[in-house]
Amino acid sequence: MPSPRTDAAPEARSGIQVIERMMKLLDVLSYHPDPVSLKQLALETGLHPSTAHRILAAMATSGFVERADPGTYRLGIRLLELGNVVKSRISIREAAMPLMQRLHQQLGESVNLGVRQGDEIVYVERTSSGRSSVRVVHLVGARAPLHVTAVGKLYLAEDGPQKLREYVKRTGLPGYTPTSLTTLAALEREVDRARRHGVAFDNEEIEQGLRCIAAPVRDDTGELVAGLSVSAPAERHSPDWAELVKETANAISLAIGYTPPTGGRQA
């Protein structure tokens, strides 16, 4: 007895066909450094112009492509965002963890890896010291404002003065402990210190009794993509850890493709 006919197979094939056409369009756009006309896209993909236009419109709505001049298209910012997510959550974590564990063994304290999301730091990896009676906030998945974390100050230093002022205006610099930096002048001094020395500190600014030191991790383009930090109770914390934290952050940067400028700054 023949099986009942359904429309599932044709619908599935139709969906796959649309995805295949989207990929063709993305591939062609990736070959061209400048915006590409609809006519050229249709020619190089073999798609009918009306079909290409319909698919491009849907991709533009999702941010995968952008309309440039009328009738021309280029790759969209959404692809960059997704690429950064992959780099920050997979490549960096895989490269960082063995080096974080080595640093943990050397110092005996918690080692953290944080990345920026908007006005916050998100901690994506951590080794635990197991020795602290302090409630350490740097748990995997935890978030904290930029201005009260050592890693966050690295990103604010990277932003420059104008973006720093915009951050202050946007957030109002809420305080969490008596030592939190809650004025623009105080934060500017601390951020300038981080910029000059390539390392940043958290002096019990988000949790009393907990101090932190952080150094930047850079990718193959030189972009700041994460911060490596060591957190410890105030009575055990030592500013002398700075060089060791920087060396480990540099090693992670090198592992993900960073090449320091000749005679220039390290990661």
Q: Are 161 and 207 in contact (CB under 8 A)?
A: no
Would you state the pLDDT for residue 81?
81
Q: Are 159 and 216 in contact (CB under 8 A)?
A: no
For residues 106 and 109, give the distance between their C-alpha atoms in angstroms, rounded to a whole number: 8
Place of tokens 């060089």: 243
Q: Which residues, 6+ apart, have CB-to-CB distance to 230 below 8 Å?
A: 103, 107, 109, 110, 111, 112, 212, 213, 214, 241, 245
> Going residue by residue through the chain (267 aa), what tens digit of pLDDT does each one get?
444 444 556 666 777 888 999 999 998 998 888 899 999 999 999 999 999 999 999 999 989 999 988 889 999 988 888 877 665 555 788 889 999 999 999 999 999 999 999 999 999 898 875 554 444 555 667 889 999 999 999 999 999 999 999 999 999 999 999 999 999 999 999 999 999 999 999 999 999 999 999 999 999 889 999 999 999 999 999 989 999 999 999 999 999 888 888 754 555
Residue 51 burial by Cβ neighbours in a 10 Å radius (0-12, 13-18, 19+):
middle
Q: Are 68 and 78 in contact (CB under 8 A)?
A: no
For residues 98 and 60, give the distance between their C-alpha atoms in angstroms, rounded to a whole number: 40
For residues 89 and 87, give the distance between their C-alpha atoms in angstroms, rounded to a whole number: 6
State the pTM of this model. Answer: 0.65
Would you state the pLDDT for residue 134?
47
Residue 194 burial by Cβ neighbours in a 10 Å radius (0-12, 13-18, 19+):
buried
Q: Which residues of 13-34 are buried (b: 16+ CB within 10 A; e: fewer)?
A: eeeeeeeebbebbbebbeeeee
**Within its chain, how far is the Cα of 242 from the centroid?**
23
Place of tokens 């780099």: 87
Would you state the pLDDT for residue 208?
92
Would you state the pLDDT for residue 249?
97
Would you state the pLDDT for residue 90?
59
Domains of the chain: 14-84 (1.10.10.10), 90-256 (3.30.450.40)
Question: Could you write out the DSSP letters of every residue in 109-131?
Answer: SEEEEEEEETTEEEEEEEE--S-
For residue 145, the surrounding DSSP H or E stretch is strand 143-145
Residue 215: phi, psi to the nearest 5? -135, 155
